[in-house]
Structure formats: C-alpha cells, structure tokens
Amino acid sequence: MSHATLEHVNYCTPDPSKTAAWMADVFGWKIRWQGDGGEGGRTIHMGGEHHYLALHCPSKKLQPWRKDYAMVGQMNHIGVLVNNLDETEEKVKSAGFTPVSHADYEPGRRFYFYDDAGVEFEVISYSGGR
C-alpha cells in the first residue's frame, strides 16, 4: 500500500512578507523559499522540513475573502498542531490576534484565531500543553 502525506497548501494573502513574519514569531516556522510566484506575483514558502504553506500574492487585485463554509473548494481554516497550547496562545496575542472558541475535548485542546487577512487558524495540542 502506498503512503501519501500532505506537503503544502497554497493560498492568497495580501502581504506574504507580513504573514511570514507573524508565522515565524508564533509557530517558529522558517522561510523555505521565496520568489516569483508566477505572472508577476510573489510567493513565500513558510513552514518546517516536511510541510509548508505557500503564501501567495498575485500581481492582480485580490478579491475579498468571504467566510462561507458552503463553497466548493474554499479553505475553511488551517489547523496547526503545537506542543504547548498555552505558550502558543500568548504568542498569538502578542502578534495582535484574538484567540476565540477555546475547547477541551478528547483527545486534546484547541482555539481559533483570524489573521489580519481574515484567514482562520485552528491551533491544537494533543499533549496537554499546559
């Protein structure tokens, strides 16, 4: 049987450099690559050794994001697994974002936040992380 692993997700953000900066501060991620995103756009690959988010800003005007959990193909949120949820929540607050929808559930804990581009992130810990 073959094995498949999610390697990356590419999404649009109005300022890839600004997004990459807060991701480095909050999640400790690194820039894996950055450069021409095609057709005059800019892309930054931000993440770890085995996975990343491709932060893309096209040269054409971005359409406003619309929160609608009923659109085919729309990304609803990005889930990020962390070892210490409380520490990460403090970093999220320091970055200027507001954690919401906290929940303790089997097998872990979580909260959500929206970045300055309106992208929803779920931060999860299965290790207790207190």
Q: List, for residues 85-101, the tens digit of each pLDDT value.
A: 999 999 999 999 999 99
Task: Give the model's pLDDT for residue 128.
Answer: 59
CATH says 7-60 is which class? alpha beta
- Rounded Cα–Cα distance for residues 94 and 119 (Å): 17
DSSP code of residue 64: P
Q: What is the mean pLDDT of the chain?
A: 91
> What's the pLDDT tens digit per position in 69-82?
677 777 889 999 99
Q: What is the pTM of this model?
A: 0.89
Domain 7-60 identical in fold to domain 74-130: no
Show me where the domains of the chain are located: 7-60, 74-130
* Second-level CATH architecture of 74-130: 2-Layer Sandwich (3.30)
Burial-class residue 55 by CB neighbours within 10 Å (0-12, 13-18, 19+).
buried
Average pLDDT over residues 113-124: 95
